[in-house]
């Protein structure tokens, strides 16, 4: 039974709660309270917070950046009560925890209002750094240190600087901050202020900070502008490094300012005189001039006629004779060429040039040097189903139609007489400069080519004549009537009735043979046939000496006919 002299545990607890405060108010534990320094000894401060016993706090917890603690007996300080009483009967107090709790309260308010906070980077951890926010420790990711990657963070260590709280969780004790967000916001404010002082068309000086393939970034005093490669010069610039270099001070004109994106476009060529002014009068159509090839594409080549002015030579205007050829096989970069102005469009800044027009038309030159009827010599470049193409002087081609290759044989047989790469001679029959065509004839060069009188007057269809072999060919025989008569051809199939007799190699040049005139080609050149002559002779012999039905053999009949003929 409890008495005043012997209180129970419950009575003691009630008296303690009455002295320290109601437990419903949270008590002392886990709270920040004010206390008074009662003594300083052995590196510890004795602090009375109103409990039955004092607590000890290390003096280092009161020091900031190695400064003196500044405490003396009687000083009032705020501390955090971990426990009212430990095993030694002393209160367990912490200045660091008090500062941390106070810092969290302040940081939560500032985070809610979106304010910046001040802190110091004091340590390095995996993935980033630790920041002291006046008692609370925050994490600074490496990507949030600066706008650009920072190789050495040493100059930033232990320096008071602003941070932006990205997120915080008091229950877990996590705070994430960013220095980059503060820099970007400050930079945006500075950019807005700087842009407000700039205007389109304004001429300013800047320093080249960086060079890329498409241009250069120029620092205009805290704000960057893009100088595109096409705005560096009126002449062709393959790479910005050909015109400027990093660290160089350049004078530029502000071309455009985008208020939304805060992007500034700069130009250098706008400060120069425009070479296209008066270009139509300077380069009239038909004018010949010399330029340098600056670029080659599949559709043509660009030729610079003066700095800043380029014209296009279309692939169709590059050569008179080379068709469907890549421009790179006709001209090369940096080559000096002579061109002719074909068209000028000042508004679109385009000049059409011609390379072939600066040279004489090769068909005109050929027509002057080789009039109709003159003899030419060249190589068979190609054989088609309708004729032969012959390479001629001046890098032009002439065509021999199949009907003008040889006398007395079909065009197909005449084509078979020649092969690619063979050197041949021909006569110029016609030159069409506009259509770029040259017609040639080869049979017109053959000896004894028939005339209208010779073909129609001295020879008759079905007439038997004696001819002399002029030439033995695979397709037959080239023959001539008499000494200086008309020449003609005996096809292979007309060399005899039997297949064994239809071999040209059984004849030789100079040999005389009998043949029958079987007709005339469109040039009135006669055609002959030994086979037709043999059939006619056999028929005549049968009629004269009897038939095979009378008992006489065909050999007897022919033998008798030959004796009669002798």
Predicted confidence (pLDDT) per residue in 420-438, tens digit: 888 888 888 888 888 888 8
Q: How far apart are the first and last CA of the chain?
A: 183
Task: Specify the higher pLDDT residue, 193 or 176.
Answer: 176
CB atoms within 10 A of CB 539: 10
CATH class of 114-184: mainly beta
What pLDDT score does 40 carry? 78
Instruction: List Cβ neighbours of 435 (8 Å cut-off, separation of 6 or more).
Output: none
* Radius of gyration of the chain measured on its C-alpha atoms: 56
Instruction: Specify the CATH class of 198-271 in words.
Output: mainly beta
Contacts of 498 (CB under 8 A, 6+ apart): none
Using CA atoms, how far apart are residues 193 and 23, in angstroms rounded to an integer? 58
Percent of the chain with pLDDT over 70: 82
Query: What does the pLDDT look like over 243-288, one tens digit per residue?
Result: 889 888 999 998 898 877 778 899 998 888 878 888 888 889 889 8
Per the CB < 8 A criterion, the answer to whether 421 and 493 are in contact is no
Going by pLDDT thresholds of 50, 70 and 90, the confidence category of residue 451 is very low
Contact 469, 476 (CB under 8 A): no
The CA distances from residue 134 to 99, 137, 326, 333, in Å, are 8, 8, 74, 68
Fold of 26-99: OB fold (Dihydrolipoamide Acetyltransferase, E2P) (2.40.50)
Q: What is the pLDDT of residues 148-175, one digit of tens each?
A: 888 888 888 989 999 999 988 888 888 8
Nearest partner of 93 among 21, 134, 101, 67, judged by Cα:
101
The answer to whether the CB of 122 falls within 8 A of the CB of 159 is: no
Q: How far apart are CA 474 and CA 477, in angstroms?
A: 8
Which H or E run includes 249?
strand 249-258
Closest CA to 291 of 236, 256, 338: 338
More confident residue, 349 or 85: 349
Helix, strand or coil, per DSSP, at residue 64: coil
Comparison of pLDDT for 111 and 448, the residue scoring more: 111
**How far apart are the C-alpha atoms of 398 and 428, rounded to whole Å?**
9
Report the C-alpha gap between 11 and 282 in whole angstroms.
116
Q: Strand ranges (DSSP E) for 355-402?
A: 375-383, 387-392, 396-401
Residue 4's pLDDT is: 53
pLDDT score of 22 = 44
Query: Residues 104, 129: contact at Cβ < 8 Å?
Result: no
Question: For residue 114, is pLDDT > 50?
Answer: yes
Is the model's pLDDT at 221 over the cut of 90?
Answer: no
Phi, psi (degrees; rounded to nearest 5) at 275: -65, -15
Q: What is the pLDDT of residue 532?
A: 87
Q: Which of the four pLDDT bands, split at 50, 70 and 90, describes residue 312? A: very high
All residues at 6 or more sequence positions from 225 whose CB lies less than 8 Å from its CB, including other chains:
206, 217, 218, 252, 254, 264, 265, 266
Q: Give CA–CA dist 529/491, Å, rounded.
A: 7
Confidence at residue 86, expressed as pLDDT on a 0 to 100 scale = 66
Query: What sign has the CA pseudo-torsion 248, 252, 254, 256?
Result: negative
| Three-state DSSP state, 13 | helix
What confidence score (pLDDT) does residue 95 get? 66
Q: Which two tokens stand for residue 469?
A: 């072999």
> Could you give the residue range(s) of every CATH 2.40.50.140 domain in the chain?
26-99, 114-184, 198-271, 279-358, 364-445, 459-545
Residue 546 has what pLDDT? 57
Mean pLDDT over 200-225 rounds to 87
**Strands 76-83, 55-58: pairing kind:** unpaired
**Average of pLDDT values for 316-340?**
87
CATH number, domain 364-445: 2.40.50.140
* Per-residue pLDDT, 23: 38
**Does residue 230 register a pLDDT over 80?**
yes
Contact 545, 559 (CB under 8 A): no
Round to whole Å and give the CA distance between 244 and 54.
75
Fold of 459-545: OB fold (Dihydrolipoamide Acetyltransferase, E2P) (2.40.50)
Q: Is the pLDDT of residue 457 over 60?
A: no
Segment 521-542 mean pLDDT: 80
Residues 165 and 110: beta-carbon distance below 8 Å: yes
DSSP H/E element including 556: helix 554-565
Of 14-23, 125-134, 328-337, 396-405, minimum mean pLDDT range? 14-23
Looking at per-residue confidence, does 127 or 194 come out higher?
Answer: 127
> Superfamily assignment of 279-358 in CATH?
Nucleic acid-binding proteins (2.40.50.140)
Give the mean model confidence (pLDDT) for residues 214-242: 86
Averaged confidence pLDDT in the chain: 80
User: Other CB atoms closer than 10 Å to residue 265's CB: what's the count?
Assistant: 18
Q: What is the pLDDT of residue 74?
A: 75
At residue 551, does pLDDT exceed 60? no
pLDDT tens-digit series, residues 460-478: 778 888 999 988 888 889 8
More confident residue, 300 or 17: 300
Residues 536-546 have a mean pLDDT of 75
Q: Got the DSSP string for 268-295?
A: SGGGS--TTTTHHHHS-TT-EEEEEEEE
* Predicted pLDDT at 6: 62
Burial class (CB in 10 A: 0-12, 13-18, 19+), 343: exposed
**Nearest 5°: phi and psi at 350?**
-130, 140
Q: What does the pLDDT read at residue 228?
A: 92
Spatial neighbors of 267 by CB under 8 A, at least 6 apart, are: 227, 228, 231, 232, 252, 253, 255
pLDDT at 452 > cutoff 50: no
CA–CA separation, 301 and 290 (whole Å): 14
Query: Which range has the worst mean pLDDT, 92-96, 236-240, 295-299?
Result: 92-96
Most confident of 199-203, 295-299, 459-463: 295-299
Q: Which of 90-94, 227-231, 303-307, 498-502 has the lowest mean pLDDT?
A: 90-94
pLDDT digits (tens, 9 = 90+) for 352-395: 998 888 888 888 888 888 888 888 899 998 888 888 999 888 88
What are the distances in angstroms from CA 540 to CA 500, 513, 536, 554?
Answer: 24, 19, 6, 12
Structure confidence at residue 565 (pLDDT) = 54
For 45-94, the pLDDT digits (tens) are: 777 777 766 777 767 767 654 455 567 777 777 776 766 666 666 667 76
Residue 452, token pair as written in the block: 């209208």
């Amino acid at each position: 039974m409890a008495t005043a002299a012997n209180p129970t545990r419950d009575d003691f607890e009630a008296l303690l709660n009455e002295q320290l405060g109601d437990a419903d108010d949270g008590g002392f534990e886990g709270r920040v309270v004010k206390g008074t320094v009662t003594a300083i000894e052995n590196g510890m401060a004795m602090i009375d917070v109103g409990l039955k016993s004092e607590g000890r706090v290390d003096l280092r917890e009161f020091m900031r950046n190695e400064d003196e603690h500044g405490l003396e007996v009687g000083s009032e300080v705020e501390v955090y009560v971990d426990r009212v009483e430990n095993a030694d009967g002393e209160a367990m107090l912490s200045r660091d925890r008090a500062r941390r709790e106070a810092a969290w309260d302040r940081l939560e308010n500032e985070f809610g209002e979106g304010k910046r906070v001040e802190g110091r980077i004091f340590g390095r951890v995996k993935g980033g750094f630790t920041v002291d926010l006046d008692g609370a420790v925050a994490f600074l990711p490496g990507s949030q240190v600066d706008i650009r990657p920072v190789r050495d963070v040493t100059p930033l260590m232990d320096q008071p600087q602003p941070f932006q709280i990205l997120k915080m969780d008091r229950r877990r004790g996590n705070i994430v901050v960013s220095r980059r967000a503060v820099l970007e916001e400050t930079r945006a404010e500075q950019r807005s202020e700087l842009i407000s002082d700039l205007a389109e068309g304004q001429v300013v000086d800047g320093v080249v900070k960086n060079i890329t393939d498409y241009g250069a970034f120029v620092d205009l005093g805290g704000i960057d502008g893009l100088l595109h490669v096409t705005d560096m010069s009126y002449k062709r610039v393959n790479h910005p490094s050909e015109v400027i270099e990093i660290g160089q001070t350049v004078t530029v004109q502000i071309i455009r300012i985008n208020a939304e994106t805060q992007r500034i476009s700069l130009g250098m060529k706008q400060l120069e005189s425009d070479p296209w002014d008066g270009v139509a009068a300077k380069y009239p159509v038909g004018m010949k001039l010399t330029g340098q090839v600056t670029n080659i594409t599949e559709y043509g080549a660009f030729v610079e006629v003066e700095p800043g002015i380029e014209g296009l030579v279309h692939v169709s205007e590059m050569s008179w004779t080379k068709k469907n050829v890549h421009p790179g096989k006709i001209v090369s970069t940096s080559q000096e060429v002579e061109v002719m102005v074909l068209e000028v469009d000042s508004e679109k800044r385009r000049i059409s040039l011609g390379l072939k027009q600066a040279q004489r038309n090769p068909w005109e030159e050929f027509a002057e040097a080789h009039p109709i009827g003159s003899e030419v010599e060249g190589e068979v470049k190609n054989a088609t189903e309708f004729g032969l193409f012959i390479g001629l002087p001046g890098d032009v081609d002439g065509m021999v139609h199949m009907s003008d290759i040889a006398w007395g044989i079909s065009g197909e047989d005449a084509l078979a007489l020649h092969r690619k790469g063979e050197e041949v001679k021909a006569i110029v029959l016609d030159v069409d400069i506009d259509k770029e065509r040259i017609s040639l004839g080869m049979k017109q060069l053959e000896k004894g080519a028939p005339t209208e009188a010779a073909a129609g007057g001295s020879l008759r269809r079905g007439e038997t004549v004696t001819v002399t072999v002029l030439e033995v060919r695979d397709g037959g025989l080239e023959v001539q009537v008499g000494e200086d008569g008309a020449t003609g051809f005996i096809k292979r199939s007309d060399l005899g009735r039997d297949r064994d007799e239809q071999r040209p190699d059984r004849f030789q040049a100079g040999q005389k043979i009998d043949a029958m005139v079987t007709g005339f080609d469109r040039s009135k050149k006669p055609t002959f046939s030994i086979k037709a002559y043999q059939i006619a002779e056999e028929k005549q012999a049968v009629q004269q000496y009897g038939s095979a039905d009378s008992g006489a053999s065909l050999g007897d009949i022919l033998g008798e006919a030959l004796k009669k003929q002798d």
